[in-house]
Amino acid sequence: MSGESGMGTFGRRLLLAVDAKGYGGVDVVTQREWQEAIRRLLEEAAGAAGLDWEQWATQVGGDSVFAVLPQGASEPCLVDPFTRHLEAGLRTFNRNRRDEARLRLRAAVHFGTASPAANGFEGRAPVEIGRLLDSRVLKAALAAAPDAPLALAVSATVFNDVIGEAYTTIRPQEFREVRIAEKEYAGRAWIRVPGYDVNALDLGDTDPGAQGGAGGAAAADVRPSGAPTAPGDTVVQVINGTVHAQGAVFGISK
Give domain status of residue 5, yes or no: no
What is d(CA 193, CA 142) in angstroms, rounded to the nearest whole number? Answer: 7
Confidence of residue 10 (pLDDT cuts 50, 70, 90): low
- DSSP state at residue 5: -
Residue partners of 73: CB distance under 8 A and separation at least 6: 14, 51, 55
What is d(CA 207, CA 182) in angstroms, rounded to the nearest whole number? Answer: 15
Confidence of residue 206 (pLDDT cuts 50, 70, 90): low
The structural domain count of the chain equals: 1
Its domain, for residue 231, covers 12-244
Instruction: Write phi, then psi, for 17 (nearest 5 degrees).
Output: -140, 140
Averaged pLDDT score across all residues of the chain: 81
pLDDT, residue 158, reads 96
Q: Which CATH number covers residue 71?
A: 3.30.70.1230
With 60 as the cut, is the pLDDT of residue 37 above it?
yes
- The candidate with the shortest Cα–Cα distance to 68, out of 112, 100, 10, 134, is 112
Q: What percent of the chain has pLDDT over 90?
A: 63
Give domain status of residue 226, yes or no: yes
Judge whether 120 and 250 are in contact, CB under 8 Å: yes
Give domain status of residue 162, yes or no: yes
Give domain status of residue 249, yes or no: no
Give domain status of residue 21, yes or no: yes
Give domain status of residue 147, yes or no: yes
Indicate the Cα dihedral angle 28, 30, 33, 39, nearest 10°. -90
Residue range 1-27: mean pLDDT, rounded: 77
**How far are the Cα atoms of 13, 79, 187 from residue 72, in angstroms, in the given order?**
8, 14, 26
pLDDT, residue 120, reads 60
Give domain status of residue 250, yes or no: no
Give domain status of residue 4, yes or no: no
What is d(CA 199, CA 203) in angstroms, rounded to the nearest whole number? Answer: 9
